[in-house]
Structure 1
Amino acid sequence: MAGRWLLFISSYSPLFALTAIRLEAGMLRNVLYCLAGLGAAGLAAVFAAAWRIEPRERSFVIVEDRGTDVAGYLATYLVPFLTVSKPTTRDVIAYALFLGLVGVIYVRSTLIGVNPLVYLFRFHLFAVREAGGAPLLLIARKPPDGSAPVPVRLVLPGLGVILPDR
C-alpha cells in the first residue's frame, strides 16, 4: 500500500507545483512546493532503489497498460486554474479535503497507473499478475511479453520496476 501512496504523491507533484505557482507567497505555497519536491524525490528513490536490487525473473499472465485512464486523471489538473491566489482558511480546508478524496480514489482505483513523472522519463505503468499471484504495479519502458520471463526488481510490496540495460 505504501507504494501506491508514493505513486499518488509523485503523480501529483506537477499539480502541486502548478498550484503553488498560482498562489501568492505564504505557508500553503511553501507546503505545495514541498509536496512537489517530496513526490519527485520519492519517485527518484524508487528508481535508485531499483538499481540496487537484484532482479528476479517473473512471468505474467495479465498485463494491462494503465495509461488509458488519463482522461479521468487530467480532470484533477484543473485545480490550479480554479484556485484563488489568496485562499481563505475555508479554501485551504476544501483543497485539503479534495486532495484526500482524490488520494483515496487514486490509490484504490486504476488511476494509480497514470503518473506524469513516470511518463516524463519514458516509462509506463502496467497492472500485471503472475499465474496464481497477487497483482503488481510494474514500471517499465514497454509491456512485458507474457511468453518470456522478465527481470523485475521488487522495490516495495506491490511495486516492481524493469530497468533498461545500462
Structure 2
Amino acid sequence: MTIVCYSLAGISIALLALLSSQTRKVDRVTISTKVARRKDVEMLTYIATFLVPFLTVAADSWRKQVALGIFVALIALFYTQGEMYFWNPILGIFGYRTIEIELVTEEVVTLITKSRYIKPGATVKAVPLASQVYWEIAP
C-alpha cells in the first residue's frame, strides 16, 4: 500500500510538471474580474473532516481494509463528480491556490494561481483547463 501511495504522489508531481510545460504553449485568455474569493480554505476543511480521522484507523483485518477501500473509492467519486479535482494537495505543495472569481459578466469561475490576492477589477491572463476552471501561468 505504501508503494502505491508513493507511486501516485510521484505520478502526480510528474503530471503537474508536464501540464505546466504544455500550458505555456497554449493561448491564454483574458479574464476580467469583479470579485475574487479564496477557495482553497475549503480544501483544509475537507481534509480535516474526512481524511484525517481515517488516517488513524488500523486496517488490520480484511473487513476494515474493505471498508476503508470503499470509503476511499466514495471520496474519489465525490471528488471527481463534484469537480473538485483541481483541489489537489500537490498543487498546494507547489504554492498554487484556488480562487473563486466572479467575472464582470456575472459568471463564476475557478482560477488556479500562485497569486495570494486578486484585486477586484483586475485582469488575469489564464489558460482554460475545463469548463469554468482556469490556470494562471507565470510568463
- Provide the TM-score with structure 1 as the length reference: 0.63
Distance in 1, matches of 2:52 and 2:24, equals 31
Kindly indicate which of the two structures has a greater share of residues assigned to helix.
Answer: 1
Number of the residue aligned with 2:13: 40
Tell me, yes or no, if structure 1 residue 82 matches structure 2 residue 57.
yes
Report 1:78-157 matches (<5 A): 78-84=53-59, 87-107=60-80, 108=82, 114-132=87-105, 134-142=107-115, 143-157=117-131
| SS of the residue 2:24 aligns to | helix
| SS of the residue 1:52 aligns to | coil
Distance in 1, matches of 2:72 and 2:48, equals 14
Which runs of 4 or more aligned residues in structure 1 lie more than 6 Å from their structure 2 counterparts after TM superposition? none
Number of the residue aligned with 2:27: 54
Distance in 2, matches of 1:156 and 1:44, equals 18
Distance in 1, matches of 2:23 and 2:106, equals 21
* Contact kept in structure 1, 2:98 and 2:110, CA below 8 Å: yes
Unaligned runs of 5+ in 1: 1-27
Q: Which amino acid aligns with 2:71?
A: F
The alignment's C-alpha RMSD in Å is 2.8
Unaligned runs of 5+ in 2: none
- Bigger RCO (CA 8 Å, 6+ sep): 2
* Contact kept in structure 1, 2:35 and 2:121, CA below 8 Å: no
C-alpha deviations, 1:26-49, integer Å up to 9, x for none?
xx3333333223333333333223
Number of the residue aligned with 2:133: 159
Q: Which amino acid aligns with 1:164?
A: A
Q: Which amino acid aligns with 2:111?
A: L
Percent identity between the two aligned chains: 16
| SS of the residue 1:128 aligns to | strand
C-alpha deviations, 1:43-77, integer Å up to 9, x for none?
33332232222211111234221132213323413
Distance in 2, matches of 1:67 and 1:113, equals 10
Distance in 2, matches of 1:94 and 1:41, equals 30
